[in-house]
Structure 1
Amino acid sequence: MKIITKNNSLFLWGIMIFSFFYLSMIIPSHKKKSKNIRTYYPEVFHLDNTDKEWVENELKSMTTKEKVAQMIMPWVMGNDQSLDTLETVRIRQMITELKVGGFAYFQGDINNERKDIIDMQALSKIPLLIASDFENGLGMRLTDGNTFPYNMAVAATGDTSLAYNMGKAIAREARAIGVQQNFAPVADINDNPENPVIGIRSFSGNKYIVSKFVNAFIDGAAVGGVISTAKHFPGHGNTKIDSHIELPKIDKSKRYLYKNELFPFIKAIKRGVQSIMIGHLNFPALQKDTLLPASLSHEVVTNLLKNKLGFKGIIITDAMRMKALTKYYSVAEAALMAVNAGNDIILMPPDPEVAITAISNSVFSNEISIERINESVRKILSAKRWIDKTKPKWDIFQNGNSYIPHQKLAQKIADKSITLVKNKRHIIPIKTRKYRRVVSIVFSYGIDRDSVLTFNKLISNKFGSVKTIVLNKRSRRRQYSKAYSYARKAQLIFLPYFMRAQSDEGTQRLYKKYLKFIKKILRLRAPSVLIDFGNPYILSPLPQTKTYLSAYNDVEVSQISAVKAILGKIPIRGTLPISIPKTKYKFGYGLKIN
């Protein structure tokens, strides 16, 4: 028998204590495990046992850092096709070295984007999740993409089947080029006419209309095989501040928020929306910290969205490079807070590598549990599996970069959206032979003449000759004087207004300048037709307007429809999806002309 001496005993105790501390360092701690973290697969992705097995196998094959990288979605501008530029090297490095989970595309054209995505997918061991902002079609981001009217115009038709078909059409075009997630639809209620960032991107100022059209779009997108993303939770509609510039605060009661801002999101969750984007907004009624963005708030993302509202799909932040965040948080701070809040995907951090390193180090130091990371990665992999199972059966762009049925759909929506609000002189529909001296004074913010001249080109073709003046932020007194001189001699004056609501000081000055000049034109004897191409609320400060028509947005099909409606080529049936302040023209109003 071996005798254990006192020295031997101390030696053995030393080994045991050392072993305990050593093992505690190499074995992941479960102290940070949350009661809410469990193994589940979002029902919205309809996975079978084979799919779940694939998810688990992929999850087991990844290192901690690779798992974290799945949660990072950097941006790709898509307008640089060279093989050896810093941009292409950056993208290649993020795929092969950082092993990010996907990319958000923002510029380019159809052919090059499709080629880029094929090349990127070939470099990645795990399929990449490719997303983009196609709220009203590929044309929102791609130079040669089809463009549908904005959401407010869609709601003006009163026909939810058009939203469904638009969602499906956009999804099919997106999948044809390799984009699998659309950061749409906008589920915000535009209940603040001065909102500088949502406006016509919202379907309506009425929560019921927003919900109906959002759900129709979601249904169409699912049929088209694309993950739709309701945004910007808990609601970006009731603010005067743009979160790209500063942190907006929506200071409403919890009761009000549940009945209004949250309403479309609650309905979308019940409908089966697969993803929700969290806005960089502050809601004092929902958060104890009145300076914290909702996107970084555990109270909003986990307690409210995941636990109370029961959302089980993918939660993605709004772009992390927006000033509402970057003004107050470092890249590492924001990334860590976003994960702790409960987000699954960190969208466009200013430095993806810094974000991955910060989150990974927090896992290694047991500040964030590996179970928390697994929860998000499991959802991301579930989405990728669903995408693989919903591959399109045919390429709608096989005969070119435009698909005629979708272009016809866009025109149909535009035709049905045109809303006649005032027609006191009964000049609409206009008889072209009655007017020989016609003037069109265009009000625009930028200097891009082509985008605002479709209307004028069509009007000129119909009237034979129209004198056109384009006013913008660079216009000087001489151009205003010239425009007024033309208007004084005219028999008919068109006032196409292309400006949207903006909050910056420069735009506000220009807006006031335009209003003053329009009021001067309206005092002339010749009949004037004010046409909205971006801000349906423009009638509010111009009550003296006798003829007012809203197209809601400036996309080409809507400009075409406006001309057709003015000349009596199509019936006018649109109704206001919003109420115009300080007027009698409320939600649902619209003059009808057959």
Structure 2
Amino acid sequence: MKKIEEMTLEEKIGQMLMIGFPSAFYDDHIRELVTSYKIGNVILFSRNVQDARQVMDLCTDIQKEAIENTGIPAFISIDQEGGMVTRIYRGATYFPGNMAIGATKDPENAYKVGEIAGRELRTIGININFAPVMDVNNNPLNPVIGVRSYGENPEDVANFGINYIKGLQKEGVIATAKHFPGHGDTTVDSHLDLPKVNHGKDRLYEVELYPFKKAVENGVDAIMTAHILFPALEDSKVPATLSYNILTRILREEFKFDGLVITDCMEMNAIAKYFGTQKAASMAIKAGADIVLVSHTKELQIKAFENIKEAVERGDISVERIDESVRRILKMKEKYGLFDRPYPEKDKFDTTVGIEKHRKIAKAISLKSITVVKDEKKLIPLKTKNVLAISPETVPVSFVDDALMDRLSFARQFTSTFGGVEETISVNPNNREISVILEKAKDKEVVVVGTYNANLNEGQVKLVNALLQVNKNVIVVALRNPYDLQKFENVPTYVCAYEYTPLSVESVIGVLTGKYPAEGKLPVTI
């Protein structure tokens, strides 16, 4: 293992940066950063992923180059949260997301998901997962967390998150509790602007901070910061990522966290617009971050490197401060066996990744999550084929969503499985679309509508309320946020699937047609 005394300043700074690049192969972008700037860590996105086997080859190349150029194996990270944020979906097991797991009311399911995800990721060559999300989602209008959270109860979020962390880390993958100190109660997406959480200190400690404190007590090895203002914890112009009070005084000193503090991406508008990505890189390190994440742009990655170096050379950041983080990084790389076995375990691939046994567990958990909130007219199970099924196709609704494989349509899948007539709508249907559908709905015995964040898309609300005027037997299936019911309380039957994925669509159709019972319970209040 390389000793810190043998490292140059450039090599140390390289260990404190994590970068993304555009290709599904080891390209010139990453080659230049690893060769010329000794960058020691990489993040993978959907753009780097074709399928699980290709990712394994890519991880092999990344490690080979990192070891050759820096003498130290790389952290290779990904956001494999499950549900709507799943970067590797071909060839690996597809898991339900957090709110679906929360709806099973059994934290053991979070452990199972963490364990299998860890086993598969480590086999492929990934050693950090940017999961679990430990934000408490108590704001129905949150545009970026929502179903990525386990729910609205801080104790449940902590409990499910800790179980996931234990399962993942047991299999040799570092878990990352995010987004500290809590992105749950915001109405602004930090990819687009700088959110603010105005709660007082007591409330923040009881709700937002609680799951993170519990995660630290239970051995989480990494925490990702949030680009959010918390006036009760820090000067009202400094977001958590750049706050010494939040990262050092609260997280390090008060919570006694000695794992890795990793920033969320510094190219997000919450940082880039107000501070500048490169300048904020050295600000985050001064605040107490160990690894600065710059996910996309080569120029900004190089400028971040140079900005940190200049800050050290002019004495703005001490060498001791740099060494403290580098020691932590090297120690964590050693703890997770990267010096002994940095490479993917190719010989285990066929017996580990995406295997039938793992898929069965994922399917069973998905089925247990489907929640029938109400069924006043006993429309479930469906007793007729004279059904109109309506839904939009999957579309990403925030910057973290993945454009899932093929455009999925709940309505199409429903009719091909069960029968009936299908109508695919846009996410915000206009009056013309709505009147065409109303005509078709009049003579149907039951209308099944899949909504997709209707609480944020007025056209869907209009459609459902208009359908209730022409047909009394309407079943609404919320295919993402469970809060849609607030917009059409008169719907007789309301079902929550918590995500719009092949897995959840199959599960919800199984419940609607009576093949399976609905066992889920709401993890949030509607």
Matching of residue 96 in structure 1 with residue 45 in structure 2 = no
- 1:468 maps to 422
Counterpart CA distance in 2 for 1:483 and 1:138 is: 28
Q: CA deviation at 1:461?
A: 2.9
- 1:487 maps to 441
- Checking the alignment, whether the CA contact within 8 Å between 2:137 and 2:152 is kept in structure 1 is yes
- 2:208 maps to 261
Q: 2:120 aligns with which of 170, 173, 179?
A: 173
Counterpart CA distance in 2 for 1:496 and 1:396 is: 40
> For 1:373-429, what per-residue CA distance to the aligned partner results, in whole angstroms no more than 9, with x for missing partners?
010001111111122268587854226963111211110111101111111001212
Letter in 2 for 1:486: K
CA 1:550–1:167: 2 relative to 1, 3 Å: same
User: Pairwise mapping of residues 396-435 of structure 1 onto structure 2 (< 5 A)?
Assistant: 396-398=348-350, 402-431=354-383, 435=384
Counterpart CA distance in 2 for 1:245 and 1:483 is: 35
Counterpart CA distance in 2 for 1:341 and 1:370 is: 15
Q: CA deviation at 1:523?
A: 2.0
3-state DSSP class of the match of 2:121?
helix
- 1:24 maps to none
Matching of residue 114 in structure 1 with residue 61 in structure 2 = no
Matching of residue 70 in structure 1 with residue 15 in structure 2 = yes
Letter in 2 for 1:405: K
Q: 1:152 aligns with which of 99, 121, 142?
A: 99
Counterpart CA distance in 1 for 2:188 and 2:361 is: 34
- Checking the alignment, whether the CA contact within 8 Å between 1:146 and 1:402 is kept in structure 2 is yes
CA 1:343–1:314: 2 relative to 1, 3 Å: same
- Checking the alignment, whether the CA contact within 8 Å between 1:438 and 1:490 is kept in structure 2 is yes
3-state DSSP class of the match of 1:397?
helix
Letter in 2 for 1:556: P
- Checking the alignment, whether the CA contact within 8 Å between 1:445 and 1:499 is kept in structure 2 is no
- Checking the alignment, whether the CA contact within 8 Å between 1:132 and 1:183 is kept in structure 2 is yes
Matching of residue 221 in structure 1 with residue 177 in structure 2 = no
3-state DSSP class of the match of 2:4?
helix
Counterpart CA distance in 2 for 1:400 and 1:173 is: 6
Letter in 1 for 2:56: R
3-state DSSP class of the match of 1:398?
helix
CA 1:393–1:222: 2 relative to 1, 3 Å: same
Letter in 1 for 2:355: Y
Matching of residue 296 in structure 1 with residue 242 in structure 2 = yes
Bigger mean CA offset, 378-387 vs 448-457: 448-457
Letter in 1 for 2:8: T
- Checking the alignment, whether the CA contact within 8 Å between 1:75 and 1:103 is kept in structure 2 is yes
CA 1:176–1:269: 2 relative to 1, 3 Å: same
User: Pairwise mapping of residues 222-301 of structure 1 onto structure 2 (< 5 A)?
Assistant: 222-287=169-234, 289-301=235-247
CA 1:415–1:213: 2 relative to 1, 3 Å: same
- Checking the alignment, whether the CA contact within 8 Å between 2:123 and 2:345 is kept in structure 1 is no
> For 1:210-269, what per-residue CA distance to the aligned partner results, in whole angstroms no more than 9, with x for missing partners?
011000000100111100000000000011110000110000000110111000001000
3-state DSSP class of the match of 1:95?
helix
Counterpart CA distance in 1 for 2:153 and 2:336 is: 33
Q: 1:129 aligns with which of 75, 90, 98?
A: 75
> For 1:303-347, what per-residue CA distance to the aligned partner results, in whole angstroms no more than 9, with x for missing partners?
111111111100000000000011012233101101100000001
Matching of residue 453 in structure 1 with residue 409 in structure 2 = yes
Matching of residue 190 in structure 1 with residue 137 in structure 2 = yes
Counterpart CA distance in 1 for 2:213 and 2:453 is: 33
CA 1:462–1:152: 2 relative to 1, 3 Å: same
Letter in 1 for 2:169: A
Q: Which runs of 5+ in 2 are unaligned?
A: 397-402
Letter in 2 for 1:376: S
Q: CA deviation at 1:139?
A: 7.6
- 1:496 maps to 450
Bigger mean CA offset, 143-152 vs 437-446: 437-446
CA 1:476–1:239: 2 relative to 1, 3 Å: closer
User: Pairwise mapping of residues 286-365 of structure 1 onto structure 2 (< 5 A)?
Assistant: 286-287=233-234, 289-348=235-294, 350=297, 351-365=300-314
Q: CA deviation at 1:203?
A: 0.1
Counterpart CA distance in 2 for 1:76 and 1:397 is: 25
Bigger mean CA offset, 381-390 vs 236-245: 381-390
- Checking the alignment, whether the CA contact within 8 Å between 1:302 and 1:341 is kept in structure 2 is yes
> For 1:335-382, what per-residue CA distance to the aligned partner results, in whole angstroms no more than 9, with x for missing partners?
110110000000116412211111112222222111100100011111
> For 1:96-147, what per-residue CA distance to the aligned partner results, in whole angstroms no more than 9, with x for missing partners?
1111120000021222221121112111221011001011179811351432
Counterpart CA distance in 2 for 1:445 and 1:142 is: 17
Counterpart CA distance in 1 for 2:353 and 2:175 is: 23
- Checking the alignment, whether the CA contact within 8 Å between 1:277 and 1:317 is kept in structure 2 is yes
For the pair shown, which has the larger CA radius of gyration, 1 or 2? 1
Letter in 2 for 1:174: L
Q: Which runs of 5+ in 1 are unaligned?
A: 1-53, 502-507, 581-594
> For 1:166-190, what per-residue CA distance to the aligned partner results, in whole angstroms no more than 9, with x for missing partners?
0011111111111100000000000
Counterpart CA distance in 1 for 2:377 and 2:302 is: 63
3-state DSSP class of the match of 2:140?
coil
- Checking the alignment, whether the CA contact within 8 Å between 1:455 and 1:559 is kept in structure 2 is no
Letter in 2 for 1:73: M
Identity of aligned residues (%): 35
- 1:5 maps to none
Letter in 1 for 2:191: H
